[in-house]
Amino acid sequence: MNAVAVEGLTKRFAGSVALDRVSFTVAPGELFGFIGPDGAGKTTLFRILVTLLEPDAGRASVLGRDVVKEFRALRERVGYMPGRFSLYPDLSVEENLRFFASVFGTTIGAERARIAPIYAQLEPFKARRAAALSGGMKQKLALCCALVHRPEILILDEPTTGVDAVSRREFWELLGELKQGGLNVVVSTPYMDEARRCDRIALIHRGRLLAVDTPAGIVRAFDRPLLGVRARDRFKALLALRAFQHAHSVYPFGEVIHYTDQRKNAPTETLTADVRAFLAAKGFADASAEPIEPTVEDSFIARTASSGDQLDGGAA
């Protein structure tokens, strides 16, 4: 039995389509990630999976139970961490946890073993009001509250958004440990670099799944050589490259410009030589070009750009 099975799921809000015939499955024990920007449909999808919202069409089951017909049976088995901080800001860390435990008919004491690794980090602040915690600590408390009733699956909506890089890394380490402990984990994030933490990912954009695969598989499907171009004046070099007759895509990626060529099957040596020669002729004597490995972000860009509806950037 799949941990999650979704088929043809569709949800509309006042004329706009939030989810457009989405289908995927999550295997038991998998750490599965949805990667996409704000407005892609991640939250709508998760709210359907945790029985807070009904789909307009299609079906979804979690742990073998239909999210519409069997919502009561499902709620006890699902741990949900919403994207927006939704604990009680005026209650202390301990009071929040005790409250969530009691709602599900259990106690912190009874669940101690389960939440121990996370609670250990929160315990020094257990008397502090939730509102006064740092972003990273709030996320850990929310995770604890989502775990306290021993769910069989955890569904986490953007748990690392707005949290600094250190706390994000710690949070992903915790998710990895929970997965090792046998828990199903479905998580969403707008940070493309977090994709590699997942067993499989779905790229989601404007209510549609662009691809579902392992992070390595997503990258492998990148269908042409990718060059990393460096030049001292990268902005001017970027503008110059855009005007190169063979340019297919030219994007800034930090210190490097990522370039693909229209000549899809040309040998990379030809492409690097051509790009270097072109830039040298344009006055960028220091420019270099070399083949590089694409990232999940390159794949995401390639898939959204080729859908042809991206011209002016992000009609979400």
Partner 1 sequence: MSDVTIEVKDLTRRFGDFIAVDRISFEVKAGEVFGFLGANGAGKTTAIRMLIGLLEPSGGTARIAGHDIYTESEAIKQSIGYMSQRFSLYEDLTPRENIRLYGGIYGLTRKQIRERSDRVLARLGLAGVADDAVRRLPLGWRQKLAFSVALIHEPHIVFLDEPTSGVDPITRRQFWELIYEAASAGTTVLVSTHYMDEAEYCDRISIMVSGRIAAIGAPADLKRQFGVNSIDELFVRLARPQSETSA
Using CB under 8 A, list all residues that contact partner 1. Answer: 36-40, 124-125, 128, 133-137, 161-170, 190-193, 205, 234-236, 238, 251-255, 297, 300-301, 304-305, 310, 312-316
Closest CB 5 distance from partner 1, rounded Å: 28
Six token digits for residue 110:
């009874």
How many Å apart are CA 184 and CA 180, to the nearest integer?
Answer: 9
Closest CB 231 distance from partner 1, rounded Å: 13
Closest CB 54 distance from partner 1, rounded Å: 26
Closest CB 314 distance from partner 1, rounded Å: 3
- Name 257's Cβ contacts closer than 8 Å, sequence gap at least 6: 228, 229, 230, 231, 234, 237, 238, 241, 250, 251
Question: Which CB sits closer to partner 1, 220 or 236?
Answer: 236
Closest CB 137 distance from partner 1, rounded Å: 5
For residues 217 and 250, the answer to whether their CB atoms sit within 8 Å is no
Question: Which CB sits closer to partner 1, 151 or 215?
Answer: 215
* Alpha helix positions (H), 83-134: 93-103, 108-122
Question: Which CB sits closer to partner 1, 20 or 170?
Answer: 170
Question: Which CB sits closer to partner 1, 104 or 253?
Answer: 253
Question: Which CB sits closer to partner 1, 168 or 179?
Answer: 168
Closest CB 70 distance from partner 1, rounded Å: 33
How many Å apart are CA 163 and CA 117, to the nearest integer?
Answer: 20
- Buried b / exposed e along 161-184 (16+ C-beta atoms within 10 A): bebeeebbebbbebbeebbeeebb
φ, ψ of residue 208 to 5 degrees: the values are -120, 150
Question: Which CB sits closer to partner 1, 62 or 171?
Answer: 171
3-state secondary structure of 238: helix
